[in-house]
Structure formats: C-alpha cells, structure tokens
Structure 1
Amino acid sequence: MANEPRRRLLIGAAGTAVLALVTTRSARATSLLAVRVWPGPDYTRVTLEHDEPLKFSHFMLRDEPPLRLVVDLEGIALTSQLKELVGKIDANDPYIARVRIGQNRPDVVRLVIELKGDVAPQLYQLDPVGPYRYRLLFDLYPTNPADPLMALIRQSTAPTQPSPEPLPPEPPPPEPPAPEQPPHDRAPPEPAAPPAAIAASPADEAGVNREIERAQRAVQPPASAERPRQSAPAARRLVTVAIDAGHGGEDPGATGRRGTHEKTVTLAVARRLASLMGNDAKMRVLLTRDGDYFVPLAERVQKARQVHAELFVSIHADAWVRSDARGSTVFALSEHGASSAAAAALARHENESDLIGGVNLSKYDAPVRSVALDLLTSAQISDSLRFGGAVLRELEHVNRLHRAQVEQAGFAVLKAPDIPSILVETAFISNPDEELRLRDEAYQRQLAQAIFNGIQRYFERNPPPTREPVG
C-alpha cells in the first residue's frame, strides 16, 4: 500500500503527458506555410498554403456597408504569418478594401474581408502539386464584370495622341545584342502597360455566324505563302489581336538558373508587342493578362473569342532538361497527335499550368463537341500554320530557330475553334545565355518587333473581310 500514492502520481503524470501530446498534435494539425495575394482586373486571389487539409466555411454580409466576406478557418493558429495578410492588401486592389483577422472561437480563426463592391466569391481547396502543398484559394470575382468588347470599341473610337512606349532610362548604349552574344545580366523592369491594351474579363463564346464563316473557309485551299500582296481595301477596318502572356500569379512557369521567371519575361514581351500594335491605326489589342495574376487557360481563349479576335498569340520562354537547348519555336494546334516527341512533352507541360496556377474546376461546364466545331478546328489549324510560318520567318532575324517549321501539338490555350492561334517559345530560359538575353530590354523589343512584323505579314497576305470601317 505504500506504493499506492506513487502509482497514482505516475498514472496522473502519464495521463497529463498523453493529453499534452494530443493537444500539441491538435494545435499542429494545420500549419500555415505561406500567404499570397494576387490582385488583378478580372479578380483578386488570396492564397493560404498549409501542410494539411484545412476545414473552412464562409458567408457574405450584405445587410449594411461595407460588404464583407467572412471566412472561418478551423484547426489553425492565429500566427504572425497569418496576420501578415493584413499588410499584403494593396490600396489599389480592385476588390478588397482591407482585412481583419481575429480569434473567433477557441479552435476557429475568423477572417473578415471588407470589399469595395459586390463580389461572387469562390473558395476551394487544392491538393499538393508541383512546388506547393495544400492551398485554400479565395477568388473574388465581380458580380457585374466589365464587357471587354465594349471597352475595346470605346477605346478605338476615342481620340488618341501618339506617345512613345514608356520605358525606364537605360545606361549608355552597348550595341543591341547579336543573336549569339548575350547582353549584360540585368533583370527587366515591368514596362508600363500600353494604353491600347485592355485586360478583359471572362466571357461567353462568339456568335454562330462567325463560326459558320470560319467553317466555310475550311473547304478553301490555303493561300500560298508566296501569293502577291493585296492592296488595302478602300474601307479599312480595325483588326483585333489577342496577346497572351503565358503563366502568371501562382504559376511562375519555367525558372532560369539566375532566377528569372518565365511569367515575368512573357509579360514584358507581351506589353512591348501591345505597345507596337497600339501605335498602329489599323489594329486594336487585347492582353489576356496585364499583371502578375493567373488566368486559367480556358478563360484566355474565352477572352479572345468575346472580342472577336482575328489572331491569338501566346508568348512563352521554353525550358528543357538539357541546358544547351536553344532557339525559337512556333507551335500550332494539332488534331491528330504531336509533330514530335518534344512538342508533345511541351504541350503536356504547358497544359499543366491550370494545376499549378489553380483553377476551380466546378465553374466550368463539360466541353461541347460537334461536327461543326471539328470543321472549324480544321480551318483554324490551316490558318494557324500559315500565321505561324509568317512569324517564324521574322523570328529567324533575331534568334536562331530551334525548329525551322511550325510544330504542332495539343496545346489547350490554342483551342479556339474560330481564331488562328499560335504559341511562340521565344527562347530557352533554361539556357544560361538565352536567359541573359531574355532579361535584356533591347532583346525583348527585338522579339516583340519580330512577332509584330509576322502579324503584319499575315494580314497583308490574308486580309480579313471588311466588317467595320475604321472611324
């Protein structure tokens, strides 16, 4: 009996240790790894990255201003890292005014997001993929998104004043880099967005009449690349080109040895290309993204279709397992397999962009298949190959070609059935020399000019039918 108190003491201590262990494990059930905010004109995204699945619930408060989105997070601690979200909200965010965070219940942290206007929030969780662990995404879309087509029309009819492309001052010139001579290593600044570019909202598909017109062209033989140039019609009309800067936001794309992200290079080249088009009285341009935010592949296509784009150009910077791979490549869509194993591998990689960038799959309907769309796709591929050839011939003046002909593969971003579409791999960011050149402003301008020249060459040989005269 003398050992009874000691035994009780040991049992009590063991019970306390077990309870402490359970409590510690419960408190550590979900650890926050990162907080990111991606504001954009289409929507603002808030990302919470964590090491385990996270329980959450949300609701809107619309009874009195300001409008608020309330999010309850279960089983996560109110850490200083989570509180960093408050300071990550930019004053210029289109949708979020501010964020408040506090302990609502013993095991629940509450986020109150004060809004600048009404939104249709989409909250969803993604499983680990690529460099990321579990992610809880808040996508805040406006309930009444702007009409990108009307924005383009208003802008094309407004009086414009010519202005040079805004660029930061550069040091005293070295000569522009020759194709095989890398320039100085300096990271490109974010060039200012040209006034002619409009970042559009997600949109519905284009009308049936335009699809029928494209289907009728499927039975016509492709025009020869050597066909004489046609004189401009008396009543010219504006042509619309969609420029797609690959990747963005959560999806950095490929990364070079010096830390250059593909998403940064593609946006810089896209903005320079948009600036060139903005100075052409016969063109108007849509940028599918005009900042560091992610646009799902399907929405990039939808944007181009809503503004009735005549051409679609997706800009990328290639990467390969071998660092000596180099040169520019142009791709078009393929109906029946890729033109090479490398093209197939690249298409698979690019199509994974939605997984890395983060997409709420529940918002998309199943794709509609029809004979009409198949006919349109056949015509689109024929036109895309012609368009890609024109751009390829211009790119060879500023860089060696990795492939001398237009390659083909099943790129999801090229699947607009009624718009000739190409994907331009400007260079290999995985090649140290080409990464240096991609970081150089002068070389970015050369790439943009080459693509612009290819677009002009295509329209000279394949003028679109007269539809709306230039005002």
Structure 2
Amino acid sequence: MPKTNNISLFAIALALLSCISTSALAANTLNSVRIWAAPDSTRVVFDLGSKPDYQSFTLTNPERLVIDLDQTVQGSKVSLDKLENNSALVKRVRFSKPPKKGTLRLVVDLKQAAQANLFSLPPTGPYGDRLVLDFEQGSGGQSSVKQDLNRNQSTERDVIIAVDAGHGGDDPGSIGPSGTYEKGIALAIATKLADKLNAVDGITAIMIRKGDYFVDLNHRSELARKAKADLLVSVHADAFTSPQPRGASVWVLSNRRANSEMGRLLEKGDQVSQLLGGVGEIVQNTDSEQYLMRTLIDMSMDNSRSAGYQVASNVLSQLGKVTELHKSRPEYASLAVLKAPDIPSLLVETGYISNPQEEKLLRSSSHQQRVANAIFNGISHYFHSYPPEGTLLAKRSSVKHKVKSGESLSIISARYNVSIDAIKKANNLKSDVVRIGQQLIIPRA
C-alpha cells in the first residue's frame, strides 16, 4: 500500500513539472496581428499577452524581416492567411520554422526594400502589450503630400495649408464614454476642413494623413515643411479624467519648444537651407555662419509664432459661434506636432470627447461640418487679410493706383505702407522712375 502511494505521488509530481515546463516555454501568447498602411509607410502590430522578449534580423533577395519571439506561442484566434493588408510595402506576414523549441518565428515579406524600426509598447487604451514594426518607404517614391500640390499652374502660387488629423492607426487617441475614438473624429473634421479649403481658388490643403494610419509626431511638421506649407493646423478632441469639462480650445507653439527646435535645426546644418530657402545656402558660405543662421531662424520663428497666434485667435473666435469654448484665448503648449519654428502652427481641440454630451455632438456629421466651417473661416479670414507675397491671394488683394503730378515711388510707398521694392516687383519696374498717369498695382502690405 505505501508503495502504491509513492508511485501516485511520483506521477502527480511529474505532471506538475510537465505543466510548469510547458508554462515556462509559453510565457507569452501572440493574440493578433494588424497591418496599418499609410501612403509612404506601414505599421505592423503584434498584440501579445505580456511584454515581448524578441530578436530580429533582415534578409535580402527577396527582402524580408524575421522576428523571433522567445517563450511565445500562437494564439488560437491568430490567422495570418486572412490578414487585412493594403500596404504598398508589406507583401505578407507568415510563420516560419523556429530556431528552437519555445520560440515563435514570424517573417514579414516585403514588396521592396524599406527602412525598419522595431520596438515594444506597454498597454494603453484598448490595447495590451504590443510589438510594433514600422516600415518607411525609401527615397525613390514620391511623397503623397507632394502629389497634392499641382492645382495652380499660374505664376502665382497657392497658399498651402497642411491639415493634420491627430492620432490614427494603432494610436486611437482619447476614447469617449460610449467608445468613440478620437482618431476617427479628428479625421472626419480634418477631411471636411480640407475640402472647404480646396474649394477656394488660391488655397491648397494637403492632408498629413488621409486614412486610419499613424504618422510619427515629429514627421508631421517635416511633411508640412516639405510641402512648403504656410500653416499647419492639427485637429484633435480633448479628454479629461472626469466627464464635466467641455468646450473647444486652440493651442500654439510655446517659446520653449520653438527655441529647442531651433537649436536642433542649427545642429543639422544640412537642413538649414531647406528651412531658410535660398538664403540658407548663402549663409552657409559666410564666415559668421552660425550667428547669421541663428538670427535669421530667430526672425522666422518670431514671425511664425506671431502669425500662428493671430490665426489661432481668428479660429477661436469662429469656434465660439458654433460650440462652447473651454478657453477664450489661445494657449501655449510644448507639443510634438507644434514644433516647427518656421511654420505658423496651431492645434485645435474641437471639444471634450470625455464629456458625454460633447462626444455625441462630435459624432454628428452636421456638427463636424460646423466645426470645420469655423476653423476654415478663421484661416481664410487671416490669409485673405495677410496673403503671403507671391501668392494668387496677394495678387487679387492688391489695389490699383494712378500716378499723379508730384508723386514718386517713395511717396506712394509711404501712402500705402508698402515697400518700394514690393511695388517695383509687382509692376516689373526696372527703376524708381514713374510717370504721371501710370497705373501701378499696389500689393497688400
């Protein structure tokens, strides 16, 4: 009898050891795989039961990236054959033979060579632990932003407005009480705003993102800069830990953020020419390069921040006509999307998605249109009042002056508060001489 008991205990101990061993080998589980495709990049997300322990390497001919997830097993609901994928970079995601027991090997087959960035993310919002793989398109492809800049073929350019819908893809933003994602509200309002702007002859709106995908926060202002945008407006919906706060607000670039960004750009000398245009190339060939660059960028920054605040004030005034305001004046913030010292930038919080009443409003297409119209009115009023030099809006906002006896360019310049050079440029004058009866185009100051 005692012998039988010993055998039973030994069998139970073996079973327990087997369970522990199996558990140790499968400390993690791959629950799902998602692909978020953007025009110029693709994000692949691996949803896991806990923080991943992983290694990766790339292979060529054909191009692919291999990921080994240590002590991980495939979840019962994971089916890579039915994976939704409309990426221009990722061909497919598949399982492959693991190098050792307890390792789950995944292979991402690519359609072309691409830069890859692999990192893990902790649980947030509706998501648990994730392993994120970002692919960036090489320099050979044309940016989707630049493809939008072909409307006006005249000698005068359009005013360019970069419209950024906050969050996107694997980043849902704030989540309302009934489960509304901020990223969807932001895209809906941003799209309506872009449509309104594009309906104006002389204004072109470019969308930083056009669909449900994520664009790196630092990359958003870079895309605006590459498009030579005159303004960057980012659309969001606010949230708080309690449901009481409500109302729209507008944020502009803080001095601290602008100064730190200016310093970063000065350290990257190859970007200064892009930042300052042709002037940058001239400055780079001078003995006092750093001093002049800092002075010019500082002037650009002050002008951009001043313009951004004026646009923000206009937008806030218009928003007050269609929705409640949380802040009556523009607020300063050190936010990643508000980082360009050379581009007037503002972030519009269209309301509190955490407030049940405002969440319901923000989900309404008619309210979204009213908010988009208000933002449009604020932007349009500013650029029709202060159109950038060389734009179609500037040409149309000019006035005509007939030269009278005793008038000179300096007198006309002082009367309209416009520089002599601006008047000469607008009229293709080679000298400062004008004649009585001559019709002059006077650009807006």
Interval containing the TM-score (normalised by the shorter chain): 0.7 to 0.9
2:329 corresponds to 1:405: yes
Q: Partners in 1 of 2:114 and 2:266 — Cα distance? A: 32
Change (3 A) 1:63 1:406: closer
Q: How does 1:388-427 map to 2 (within 5 A)?
A: 388-427=312-351
Aligned to 2:235: 315
Give the AA of the match of 1:326: R
Q: What's the TM-score once normalised by structure 1's chain length?
A: 0.69
Asked if the contact 1:313/1:422 (under 8 Å) is kept, the reply is yes
CA shift for structure 1 position 289: 1.0
Change (3 A) 1:468 1:275: closer
Change (3 A) 1:51 1:98: closer
**Of 98, 115, 129, which residue of structure 1 is paired with 2:92?**
98
Aligned to 1:429: 353
Aligned to 2:281: none
2:1 corresponds to 1:77: no
Give the AA of the match of 1:100: R
Change (3 A) 1:448 1:467: closer
Q: Judge which range, 122-131 or 258-267, deviates more.
A: 122-131
Q: What is the SS of the residue equivalent to 1:77?
A: strand
CA shift for structure 1 position 110: 2.5
Q: Which runs of 5+ in 2 are unaligned?
A: 258-262, 268-293, 396-445
Asked if the contact 2:167/2:182 (under 8 Å) is kept, the reply is yes
Give the AA of the match of 2:60: R
Asked if the contact 2:234/2:348 (under 8 Å) is kept, the reply is yes
- CA shift digits 1:102-131 (9 cap, x unpaired): 443432322233322222222222344555
Give the AA of the match of 1:464: P
Q: Judge which range, 395-404 or 142-151, deviates more.
A: 142-151
Q: Partners in 2 of 1:424 and 1:417 — Cα distance? A: 18
Change (3 A) 1:127 1:260: closer
Change (3 A) 1:147 1:32: closer
Aligned to 2:109: 114
- CA shift digits 1:121-148 (9 cap, x unpaired): 2222234455544321111222234235
Aligned to 1:441: 365
2:206 corresponds to 1:286: yes
Give the AA of the match of 1:455: I
Q: Which runs of 5+ in 1 are unaligned?
A: 159-233, 338-365
Aligned to 1:48: 46
- CA shift digits 1:246-296 (9 cap, x unpaired): 111122111222221111011001111111122222111221111111112
Q: How does 1:270-281 map to 2 (within 5 A)?
A: 270-281=190-201
**Of 31, 34, 39, which residue of structure 1 is paired with 2:29?**
31
* Number of equivalent positions: 361
- CA shift digits 1:306-350 (9 cap, x unpaired): 11100010111122234232222111122269xxxxxxxxxxxxx
Identity %: 36
2:381 corresponds to 1:457: yes
Asked if the contact 1:89/1:96 (under 8 Å) is kept, the reply is no
CA shift for structure 1 position 411: 2.0
Bigger fraction of residues in helix: 2
CA shift for structure 1 position 151: 2.0
Change (3 A) 1:21 1:235: closer
Larger radius of gyration: 2
Q: What's the TM-score once normalised by structure 2's chain length?
A: 0.73
Q: Partners in 2 of 1:274 and 1:57 — Cα distance? A: 42
Q: How does 1:165-204 map to 2 (within 5 A)?
A: none
Q: Partners in 1 of 2:5 and 2:266 — Cα distance? A: 75
Q: What is the SS of the residue equivalent to 1:112?
A: strand
CA shift for structure 1 position 14: 6.0
Give the AA of the match of 1:98: R
Aligned to 1:134: 129
Aligned to 1:264: 184
- Which of the pair has the greater relative contact order for Cα pairs under 8 Å at 6+ separation? 1
Q: How does 1:332-351 map to 2 (within 5 A)?
A: 332-335=252-255
Q: Partners in 1 of 2:4 and 2:313 — Cα distance? A: 88
Q: What is the SS of the residue equivalent to 1:455?
A: helix
Q: Partners in 2 of 1:77 and 1:467 — Cα distance? A: 59
Aligned to 2:225: 305
